[in-house]
Amino acid sequence: MRGIAVRRNISLKKYGTFRIGGRASFFVSVKTEEELLLALEFAGKNSLKIFILGRGSNVLFADEGFAGLVIKIDLRGLRFFEGPNKVLAEVQAGEDWDNFVKKTVDKNYWGLENLSYIPGTVGAAPIQNIGSYGVEVGDLIKEVHAINIKNLKKKIFSKKKCRFSYRHSFFKTAAGADFVITDIVFSLKKTEKANLSYRDLEDFFAGKDRASVKALDVRKALKIIRGAKFPDLKKFGTAGSFFRNPVVSVKKFKILKSKYPDLPEFYEAKGCKLSLAFILDRVCGLRGYKLKNAGLYKNQPLVFVNFGGAEARDILNLGKKVRKKVFEKTGVEIFAEVTFVG
Ligand SMILES: Cc1cc2nc3c(=O)[nH]c(=O)nc-3n(C[C@H](O)[C@H](O)[C@H](O)COP(=O)(O)OP(=O)(O)OC[C@H]3O[C@@H](n4cnc5c(N)ncnc54)[C@H](O)[C@@H]3O)c2cc1C
């Protein structure tokens, strides 16, 4: 059996897209399930807290670092199984999400194209049920395979057992946090119509024959649309949207809509999802707001940015201010999408 190389006192700055954070007392990168099991055993024997890391594009590491073992998931592998109409894709958790999406689009498979250009790993995608431009990853997942940290046994979760909802899944619950995702089976289609229901895509393809829009066209459109909204990760630190869009009752939505008639509406099973970007910009006037070296991105106020040298406490203070202002103006409580690790 091969060993694992556990390193000590590792700076977490380069392991998160915010480029912020102190040191992890222990850090290990695992490339196989066997290595993952060894890492979990190591943590167990040494009574260490565990943090499972993908690409770090949805986390904020504390300035004080993490007193425990960070396990970076680097399991690789991707296989397609073609049926007459459907395709199953079996993908290891450490694969890059967008490389995987690109491969499916290049093969003319449908389903994931609207989720193009989201940073991160495949294994993290179900955790918060990543979504963009009218599609959520849970819609395309057949099974999630995971290892239980407590008994080291493997378990298969059907889509239903994953309990996907808006930016949420079973894996975000206390019981779900016991699982490390190792691989996922996606169910894709060989023929489909493009999903252009989201406003930006609808506008992009306005006047074009919708029936002729291919998955590759959607991906190309999103390169332009997302490129204009999100900061360049090579230039700035960010973890994307810092807060989730809040979901309120239809009654509450109607009250806000009467005050702010342009407020966009997204009806959900449980109420109405509000556009927090609209509220931050048009209701709170916070677009481009800066606090020290942290701020709200000018092209998309939901996105918090480290303009250089910001610390976790700056981002957290910014979050507090924004949360307070939103509550004062709308009476709506907002919650972080980004996971704080400390
Ligand atoms: C510029 C930018 C744009 C973004 N756009 C979007 C968007 O459009 N839509 C969207 O939904 N998100 C978006 N995000 C957020 C982010 O890309 C996703 O949440 C992504 O899935 C995170 O992947 P990761 O590998 O970086 O996860 P990490 O940040 O490393 O981890 C996130 C969480 O998942 C857990 N985790 C990671 N891997 C595993 C695993 N194998 N098993 C168990 N738990 C695990 C971690 O413990 C942590 O709690 C964006 C982020 C950025 C920086």
Query: Sheet holding 300-306: strands in order across?
Result: 237-241, 300-306, 294-297, 290-291
Quick check: is 192 catalytic? no
Triad 53, 54, 55: Cα angle to 5°: 115
Res 267: pLDDT: 79
User: Was domain 231-341 assigned CATH 3.90.78.10?
Assistant: yes
Q: How far apart are CA 217 and CA 202, in angstroms?
A: 13
CA–centroid distance, residue 125 to ligand 1 (Å): 6
Active-site choice (55, 167, 219, 244): 167
Give the CA-trace dihedral at 335, 338, 339, 341, to 10 degrees.
Answer: -120
Q: What is the pLDDT of residue 218?
A: 98
Edge-first strand order for the sheet with 179-189 is 78-82, 86-92, 179-189, 141-148, 154-158
Kindly provide the b/e burial profile for residues 222-246, where b requires at least 16 CB atoms within 10 angstroms of the residue's own CB.
beebbeebbbeeeebbbbbbbbbbb
Which residue minimizes the CA distance to atom 45 of ligand 1?
124
Mean pLDDT of the chain: 96
**167 catalytic, yes or no?**
yes
Does residue 101's CB lie within 6 angstroms of at least one atom of ligand 1? no
pLDDT level of residue 3 (50, 70, 90 thresholds): confident
CATH 3.30.465.10 segments of the chain: 78-228
pLDDT tens figures, 249-285 = 999 999 999 999 999 988 777 789 999 999 999 999 9
> Each residue of 144-192: pLDDT tens digit?
999 999 999 999 999 999 999 999 999 999 999 999 999 999 999 998 8
Q: Of all protein residues, whose CA lies closest to atom 52 belonging to ligand 1?
A: 240
Q: What is the ipTM of this complex?
A: 0.99
For ligand 1, atom 1, which residue shows the shortest CA distance? 240
Given this model, what pLDDT does residue 184 score? Answer: 98
Per CATH, the number for 7-73 is 3.30.43.10
Within the chain, all domains assigned CATH 3.90.78.10 are found at 231-341
105 C-beta closer than 6 A to ligand 1: no
SS3 170: helix
The strand ranges marked E within 49-98 are: 50-53, 59-61, 66-73, 78-82, 86-92
Structural tokens at position 272: 């109405």
Q: What is the pLDDT of residue 1?
A: 47
Please, which pLDDT band fits residue 2 given cuts at 50, 70 and 90? low
119 CA: nearest ligand 1 atom: 17
Stretch(es) of the chain classified as CATH 3.30.43.10: 7-73
Residues in the chain: 342
Residue 308: per-residue pLDDT: 96
Nearest Cα neighbor of 127 from 53, 222, 235 is: 53
Q: Is CATH 3.30.465.10 what the domain over 78-228 is classified as, yes or no?
A: yes
User: What are 34-85's pLDDT values in tens digits?
Assistant: 999 999 999 999 999 999 999 999 999 999 999 999 999 999 999 999 999 9
Cα→Cα distances 302→61, 65, 120, 286, Å: 19, 25, 18, 10
Mutate to test the pocket of ligand 1, among 27, 51, 57, 144 (most ligand atoms within 8 A of CB): 57
pLDDT, position 285: 96
Q: How far is the CA of 166 from the centre of ligand 1 (A)?
A: 14
Rounded to whole angstroms, the Cα distance separating 120 from 135 reads 17
Q: Express each pLDDT in 87-105 by its tens digit.
A: 999 999 999 999 999 999 9
Quick check: 181 and 146 in contact, CB under 8 A?
A: yes
Helix (H, G, I), strand (E, B) or coil at 310: coil
Give 325: exposed, middle or buried? Use CB within 10 Å, 0-12, 13-18, 19+.
Answer: middle
Tell me the percentage of the chain whose pLDDT exceeds 90.
96
Per the annotation, the verdict on 241 as an active-site residue is yes
Task: Tabulate helix, strand, coil % of the chain (nearest 5).
Answer: 30, 30, 40
Nearest CA to ligand 1 atom 51: 240
